[in-house]
Structure 1
Amino acid sequence: MSKKNLTERDICTKFITPALESAGWDIYTQILEEFPLTKGRIIVRGKLHARAQHKRADYVLFYKPNIPIAVIEAKDNTHSMSDGMQQGLGYAELLQVPFVFSSNGDGFIFHNKIAQDGILEKEISLDEFPSPETLWNMWTKNQGLDEEQNTLITQDYYSDGSKKTPRYYQLLAINKTIEAIAKGQNRILLVMATGTGKTFTAFQIIWRLWKSRAKKRILFLADRNILVDQTMTNDFKPFGSAMTKIQKRQANKSYEIYLSLYQAVTGNDEEKNIYKQFSPDFFDLIVVDECHRGSAAEDSAWHEILSYFSSATQIGLTATPKETKEVSNIDYFGDPIYTYSLKQGIEDGFLAPYKVVRIDIDKDIAGWRPDKGMVDKYGNEIEDKIYNQKDFDKTLVLEKRTELVAKKVSDFLRQTNRFDKTIIFCENIDHAERMRQALVNENSDLVAQNHKYVMRITGDNEEGKAELDNFIFPESKYPVIAVTSKLMTTGVDAQTCKLIVLDQRIQSMTEFKQIIGRGTRINEDFNKYYFTVIDFKKATELFADPDFDGEPVQIYTPKNPDDSPVPPDDETEENSENTSNQDEQNPQNNDFTFDDSNNNEEGSKVRKYVVSNVEVKVAAERVQYFDANGKLITESLKDYTKKTLSKEFASLDDFLTKWTKSEKKQAIIEELSNQGIFFEALADEVGKDCDPFDLLCHVAWDMPPLTRKERAEQVKKQNYFTKYGEKARIVLEALLDKYADEGIVQIEQTQILTVSPFTNIGTPIEIIKAFGGLEQYNQAIHDLEQALYCA
């Protein structure tokens, strides 16, 4: 057989793989074919979702397992040798590997990004493919690595024997960190969006450094007990008996891997003595999880630990590096060595996208002013001023506003699924308790079945906190709705959370990112592909801020030691973060105590007015979607379809030409489905009996749609069947009826010949023989499609 007639897969099997094996590449450990890079972005419109096409490299070559060094893009022999190069360069950019090859089976085009002679691309024959050692030596020479550094960089990953490999961005984060440490860098910052596997990444970094003995004693710091415990039992489990958790007043020095809660080694003088029982040079490596929290501040207790063990290599992990005028991760750790953003995670299909339902309440927009001498429900005269969104649920409570929010949330769940896991973020504990009560009344039927349908999970409530694990656990049905203030902003791995409600005024970008991160995990087993944000307090305006998913920029200026500290404003990130911790650790903080304004002493200022008789209503409501560029847009299903088609086809004529020339209409339908065109939903809007062809022509180019039955009748009127024999005519008429009932995709599949009424006509072989053979049968189907769409 001529090489021109071989498929791309044949070219790989017969020419490319043998060339690699001849060059010394191990087919089992170094050559990974059809290597998955991304999963394909999830596109959401209405209640429907679809995955875009994923990216997959024909070959990724690994010098050692999980250390990629080259990409090969293959094409069939009807293409030139270099036709796959641009595609390969795109994959190489994702993996950040220095060598790219393109081949059609005749030879290779070799692109060397680190070429010293300035010749980036050259042609080589099949038997000139470089060996693993040749490429590795070229790269290590370019990096200036010596033998000791090389040994550290090539230390194996942990493997449990499965073929599972880290995702491409995890590989990059791990390998870049190991390379930086090999080159002597001792302060490292990794920025990875929530839900992208920071703890797994940290484990592999620690494992390789520990196994190579480059780092012998290691401390992993987290700020939530649940995070430490989950880490020990999940990702860090392979460390086994070498690992321990530092408890209060305990400092056992016989272990190698230590995990600790920040608060276990800081606090009062007695607790501080725990870490001081270790010598300053005891630890070789410290990994700081969620380092955007208090560890970023120069004067924080957590920072004191890092300063005490200053000789250790320190790695900061965060989804949201903290950069304010007061605090800086970058000033301490340096610029991020690698960043994998929320936007990139959504684009790659590893993170769930979101849609936003923005609900504006009339009193929030226009404000509210009490009548002169008006008293609240407890008899307190309300201070005469205009109250607005800043005041609601802090200094003034409109009870009917709380009831309206509870109703809108409950209505949304009734329209989707009343058992979708939901987190509602309130201003404070008092607000959270009132919201819980309103939701209980709004969902009395389900609460009567199980009182845990709605739970307040806040720092002061032991019953609520005891249900946190059940809320997180995907298999646990209850609680369904978790009402909180700050406790659940971080460290809550709620994989099945489908709804996040913001009835909290959020000014901190760090906190906003953390809250959005509660919904970004995908769990396909529980049909969690995207999540919805219902916003009552304009918090989602922060999505429009370039800092939401931009590169972190240092704006901190180190203070003069003589400068007196400036107390943070109520709306700054510092106050928001401190409050977040106090909600869990110190629920007695004033901002989180229950309302007791009706019990205030005579003459003292009322802390919070509670008004029960002021009506509120929804002023505006709109739905916004996350687009491919990371922006929220307000767009209907028809608008999205029209825009997508305009990118794919220059005009109606262009579409008609490509549709007509396509061997299988199903291929075009599937391709457009992968781009998020939901034919079923369009059919609901335009007409259920319309062909995908008519749906597209109508939505994008305003053509009047025909039903499938109308198209089939047109063909029958044309005496189309007269050129065929009797048996073939019967088959074609039956196919036309099938088209009218079920659509074009069904009649393109030969399996249709195995169902009624075709089984009454003959076997599939007999039917195809009536047309003169399979080629003639396929041509008849093609001609039938041409007749269907010629109008």
Structure 2
Amino acid sequence: MDKKALSERDICTKFITPALVQAGWDIQTQIREEVTFTAGRIIVRGRLHTRGKKRRADYLLSFQKNQPIAVIEAKDNKHSLGDGMQQALAYSDALDVPFVFSSNGDGFLFHDRSGLGGQTETTLTLAEFPSPNALWERYCQYKGIQPDARPVVEQPYYDDGSGRSPRYYQRIAINRTVEAVARGQDRILLVMATGTGKTFTAFQIIWRLWKSRQKKRILFLADRNILVDQTKNNDFKPFGQAMTKVTNRTVDASYEIYLSLYQAVTGSEEEQNIYKQFSPDFFDLIVIDECHRGSAAEDSAWRKILDYFSAATHIGLTATPKETKEVSNIDYFGAPLYTYSLKQGIEDGFLAPYKVVRVDIDKDLQGWRPSKGQRDKLGQEIEDRIYNQKDFDKQLVLEKRTTLVAAKITELLESSDPYQKTIVFCEDIDHAERMRQALVNANPKRVAENRKYVMRITGDEQEGKAELDNFINPEERYPVIATTSKLMTTGVDAQTCKLIVLDQRIQSMTEFKQIIGRGTRINDDYHKHWFTILDFKKATELFADPDFDGEPVQVYQPYADDAPIVPADEQDSGLDESADNGEEAEDEAAAGVETDWADYDVDDNATWESDDAGGLDTTEGPEPRRKYVVDDVEVSIVAERVQYLGPDGKLITESLRDYTRKQVKAQFASLDDFLRRWQDAERKQAILDELAEEGIFWDALVAELGQKWGEEPDPFDVICHIAFDRPPLTRRERAEQVRKRDIFNRYEGQARQVLESLVDKYADAGIAPIEDPKVLTLSPFSQLGAPMELINAFGGKPGYQRALHELEDALYQTPA
């Protein structure tokens, strides 16, 4: 057997897999081959999208199912033993496995990242591959897992037989947490972007700790009633009769899994603190969902619950850890045990990317000043000063501005999909109601079809809140547009939301991340793969902030007794993280909990607006500030630009043609380089497919240029024209050149007829069909003879392939 002639797959089948089995690895439960662990980044250009390459490991080895400890990268025997090592190390970074191997079928190069084996890299024969027990022993030593803790770590995941298993990042979060708890760590923080399955991750953590009896009584705390109910009925359903939801009545201590809205077990009066009916040591595990909210502050109602059950292990889950000088998740939970960011989720293809449409309005940029003694629509004399973007819809309403924003939203919807789920974030409830009215007037035809085309969904109004479930249900068409202020910033699983409108000045990075998270879910069934952010108030400038998608940094500074309190507008941070206080209050109303502002731990330094539908903004100080409403000031759009999310996570502004030019030149250094690769390629379509994976939309480019030139060009000409400024030819022009040169004169009969038909097929449909062997089964070839008969007309398959390559060379012959 010539080993050098074997493919990579043959090397795996004949050498690597047998070596693993020989070492004691079970082929059914411990060895997984060709493991795809990402979905492929979604690349968006214009209204089109495609997926990039998925990441795939040749082998993933697990001691227990879904607990990988080793990765192997295989190469064919033309490569050296270690040629796959750097690729394997990159996979081990992503998959969080310490033992890394590469092989070409002659043996293995072993890279030990645990630091326990002496030499980092060693060469092994095929017979020396380590056994599962040997690697597991080393893994446990590396992780500090003592023998008595191993049953906990080895407890399998919940498996309902449906085939659903944790994604790779969920598995890392689950395994790290279970291992940390088994080692005795009692405060844990997990940071996972919105839409990445925090609740499913929490369920698997709790399941394994509960089934192993490491933790016997568990409390899951959330701050939204809908979140508790969704959790109980969906991800946590396997707990069955062992689970209950805590209400604000007497508690039943006979269950093991408790889910609770924290508002249901706390209150300003002692008798409302239902949680004290449990003994302080009743729970041995508490999982806090959305822990960036109340539990981040020392004096919050959440923290009182956690302090009462301080002996339990506390696990905090959040997409947006809160780190300010006043509150800190890290101070309480410690540094995140694992972070899976929005940027990584988009890169892996598990989260939807976005494009940003920035719209600048003249009065926002230039400001507006009333004339002396000018009165507003309500008869109030307007305070004489310059009003700008930070004032609009808070202190001053320009009614024509609201109308303009509604018209722009409508224009975008009508130009794409008028029924795409849309959330419009407004400054407060008054603004949300005015925006609802403006959108109703801008969409009379849609509203006539169904009055719920536009709904205000805010915490103060039952009719709108009742439509929240319909809005987030992909199967329900209405409502299409929801205007809101704070209610829908968090905990709303709007899988099919395709448009997020920001007409709200956002100064809280936490709130900004939560709002963006409303659009990041993917739903293949409803063709939701990306979303648009329509920004009227420069909120998307926060994307440029280094804190947007980086690791959280603790900046908490507990005050000494005599330390002065620094007013919010004098603090170093430009972001008003205290804005979330108002958000919590409105969410309380959404949860059906009676709201008394005195019950909220509002920071003394905070400035916040009450979501009062009457239009009054309550700010710090004795006098409420009244809004002015002006109806006769003209406004206009002065600038608009579209930005896409680039591969590095930064927003870029470029056209489809500019993007194509950049991607082609990244692959091919020059026109000669491209022509050489094209001529040498066994299949031209393979090069086009490769570029398509980088986000080049051939159909869109061919259609765009075809419209300009009058006939569709070949993608070859698209590349030559866009990237290298060569004049293009259409497919028909290329086909005609081949016919004129009569290159088929040495072929006769069926062979010549086949080649002439291939030229016609190319002119009609392009290069892909003529490279497909199945083409000979289609018309007009089927009228010329059976496929094997046609191939034999060339003296067999090699002769047919030679003739096809001659044809392709002739089609793509370039002038000297």
Q: Which residue of 2 aligns with 1:519?
A: 519
Give the distance between the partners of 1:327 and 1:471, measured in 2 at CA: 33
Equivalences for residues 309-348 of structure 1 within 5 A: 309-348=309-348
Asked if 1:579 is matched to 2:582, the reply is: yes
- 1:369 Cα deviation from its structure 2 partner: 1.1
Equivalences for residues 200-211 of structure 1 within 5 A: 200-211=200-211
Asked if 1:623 is matched to 2:626, the reply is: no
Q: Which residue of 1 aligns with 2:601?
A: none
Asked if 1:593 is matched to 2:616, the reply is: no
Asked if 1:547 is matched to 2:540, the reply is: no
Asked if 1:4 is matched to 2:4, the reply is: yes
Q: What is the letter of the counterpart of residue 486 of structure 1?
A: K
- 1:567 Cα deviation from its structure 2 partner: 6.5
Give the distance between the partners of 2:135 and 2:321, measured in 1 at CA: 36
Q: Which residue of 1 aligns with 2:805?
A: 782
Give the distance between the partners of 1:446 and 1:501, measured in 2 at CA: 19
Retained in 1: the 8 A contact 2:509–2:575? no
- Deviates most, 731-740 or 498-507: 731-740
> Compared with structure 1, are the counterparts of its residues 719 and 708 closer, same or farther at alpha carbon in structure 2 (3 Å cutoff)?
same
Give the distance between the partners of 1:27 and 1:606, measured in 2 at CA: 71
- 1:68 Cα deviation from its structure 2 partner: 0.5
- 1:429 Cα deviation from its structure 2 partner: 0.4
Give the distance between the partners of 1:139 and 1:535, measured in 2 at CA: 49
- For residues 527-552 of structure 1, the C-alpha deviation after alignment (integer angstroms, 9 at most, x for no partner) is 11100000000000000000000110
Give the distance between the partners of 2:382 and 2:333, measured in 1 at CA: 50
Q: What is the letter of the counterpart of residue 664 of structure 1?
A: R
Q: Which residue of 1 aligns with 2:720?
A: 697
Using the size of structure 1 for normalisation, the TM-score is 0.97
Give the distance between the partners of 2:115 and 2:377, measured in 1 at CA: 78
Asked if 1:466 is matched to 2:463, the reply is: no
Q: What is the letter of the counterpart of residue 811 of structure 2?
A: L
Give the distance between the partners of 2:534 and 2:449, measured in 1 at CA: 26
Q: Which residue of 1 aligns with 2:429?
A: 429
Asked if 1:768 is matched to 2:795, the reply is: no
SS in 1 for 2:201: helix
Retained in 1: the 8 A contact 2:731–2:766? yes
- Deviates most, 93-102 or 355-364: 93-102
Give the distance between the partners of 1:280 and 1:553, measured in 2 at CA: 32
- 1:566 Cα deviation from its structure 2 partner: 5.8
Q: Which residue of 1 aligns with 2:17?
A: 17
Q: What is the letter of the counterpart of residue 583 of structure 1?
A: E
Asked if 1:736 is matched to 2:739, the reply is: no
- For residues 247-289 of structure 1, the C-alpha deviation after alignment (integer angstroms, 9 at most, x for no partner) is 0133211111111111112222145431111111111011110
- 1:144 Cα deviation from its structure 2 partner: 3.5
- 1:597 Cα deviation from its structure 2 partner: 7.6
Q: What is the letter of the counterpart of residue 666 of structure 1?
A: Q
Give the distance between the partners of 2:179 and 2:96, measured in 1 at CA: 13
Q: Which residue of 2 aligns with 1:661?
A: 680
SS in 1 for 2:220: strand
- For residues 662-687 of structure 1, the C-alpha deviation after alignment (integer angstroms, 9 at most, x for no partner) is 00011111110011001111123322
Give the distance between the partners of 1:246 and 1:271, measured in 2 at CA: 15
Equivalences for residues 249-268 of structure 1 within 5 A: 249-268=249-268
Retained in 2: the 8 A contact 1:73–1:102? yes
SS in 2 for 1:427: coil
Q: Which residue of 2 aligns with 1:646?
A: 665
Give the distance between the partners of 1:567 and 1:149, measured in 2 at CA: 49
Retained in 2: the 8 A contact 1:249–1:271? no
Equivalences for residues 22-33 of structure 1 within 5 A: 22-33=22-33
- 1:584 Cα deviation from its structure 2 partner: 2.9
- Work out the percentage of aligned pairs sharing the same amino acid: 67
- 1:179 Cα deviation from its structure 2 partner: 1.4
Give the distance between the partners of 1:612 and 1:484, measured in 2 at CA: 22
- 1:77 Cα deviation from its structure 2 partner: 2.4
- 1:310 Cα deviation from its structure 2 partner: 0.9
Q: Which residue of 2 aligns with 1:97?
A: 97
Q: What is the letter of the counterpart of residue 413 of structure 1?
A: L
> Compared with structure 1, are the counterparts of its residues 264 and 569 closer, same or farther at alpha carbon in structure 2 (3 Å cutoff)?
farther
Q: What is the letter of the counterpart of residue 171 of structure 2?
A: L
Q: Which residue of 2 aligns with 1:419?
A: 419
Q: What is the letter of the counterpart of residue 690 of structure 1?
A: P
- 1:81 Cα deviation from its structure 2 partner: 2.4
- 1:130 Cα deviation from its structure 2 partner: 1.3
SS in 1 for 2:316: strand
SS in 1 for 2:344: helix
- For residues 15-39 of structure 1, the C-alpha deviation after alignment (integer angstroms, 9 at most, x for no partner) is 2222212211111111111112111
Equivalences for residues 278-357 of structure 1 within 5 A: 278-357=278-357
Equivalences for residues 469-480 of structure 1 within 5 A: 469-480=469-480
- For residues 623-678 of structure 1, the C-alpha deviation after alignment (integer angstroms, 9 at most, x for no partner) is 00001111001111111111111211111111111111000011111110011001
- For residues 196-220 of structure 1, the C-alpha deviation after alignment (integer angstroms, 9 at most, x for no partner) is 1111111111111111111111111
Give the distance between the partners of 1:564 and 1:143, measured in 2 at CA: 44
- For residues 95-122 of structure 1, the C-alpha deviation after alignment (integer angstroms, 9 at most, x for no partner) is 1111112122222222222254542222
- 1:129 Cα deviation from its structure 2 partner: 1.6
Give the distance between the partners of 2:69 and 2:578, measured in 1 at CA: 46
Retained in 1: the 8 A contact 2:144–2:183? no
Q: Which residue of 2 aligns with 1:248?
A: 248
- Deviates most, 729-738 or 560-569: 560-569
The count of residues paired between Structure 1 and Structure 2 equals 786
Give the distance between the partners of 1:595 and 1:434, measured in 2 at CA: 12
Give the distance between the partners of 1:62 and 1:420, measured in 2 at CA: 43
Q: What is the letter of the counterpart of residue 253 of structure 1?
A: A
Asked if 1:713 is matched to 2:736, the reply is: yes
- 1:698 Cα deviation from its structure 2 partner: 0.7
Using the size of structure 2 for normalisation, the TM-score is 0.94
Q: Which residue of 2 aligns with 1:601?
A: none
Q: What is the letter of the counterpart of residue 648 of structure 1?
A: Q
- For residues 479-533 of structure 1, the C-alpha deviation after alignment (integer angstroms, 9 at most, x for no partner) is 1111100000000011111000000000000000000000001111111110000
5+ residue gaps in structure 1? 599-603
- 1:161 Cα deviation from its structure 2 partner: 2.0
Retained in 2: the 8 A contact 1:460–1:584? no
- Deviates most, 436-445 or 579-588: 579-588
> Compared with structure 1, are the counterparts of its residues 233 and 416 closer, same or farther at alpha carbon in structure 2 (3 Å cutoff)?
same
SS in 2 for 1:592: coil
Give the distance between the partners of 2:427 and 2:596, measured in 1 at CA: 15
Retained in 1: the 8 A contact 2:116–2:138? no
- 1:139 Cα deviation from its structure 2 partner: 1.7
5+ residue gaps in structure 2? 590-594, 598-608, 618-622
Asked if 1:106 is matched to 2:109, the reply is: no
- 1:556 Cα deviation from its structure 2 partner: 0.7
Q: Which residue of 2 aligns with 1:219?
A: 219
Give the distance between the partners of 2:624 and 2:98, measured in 1 at CA: 68
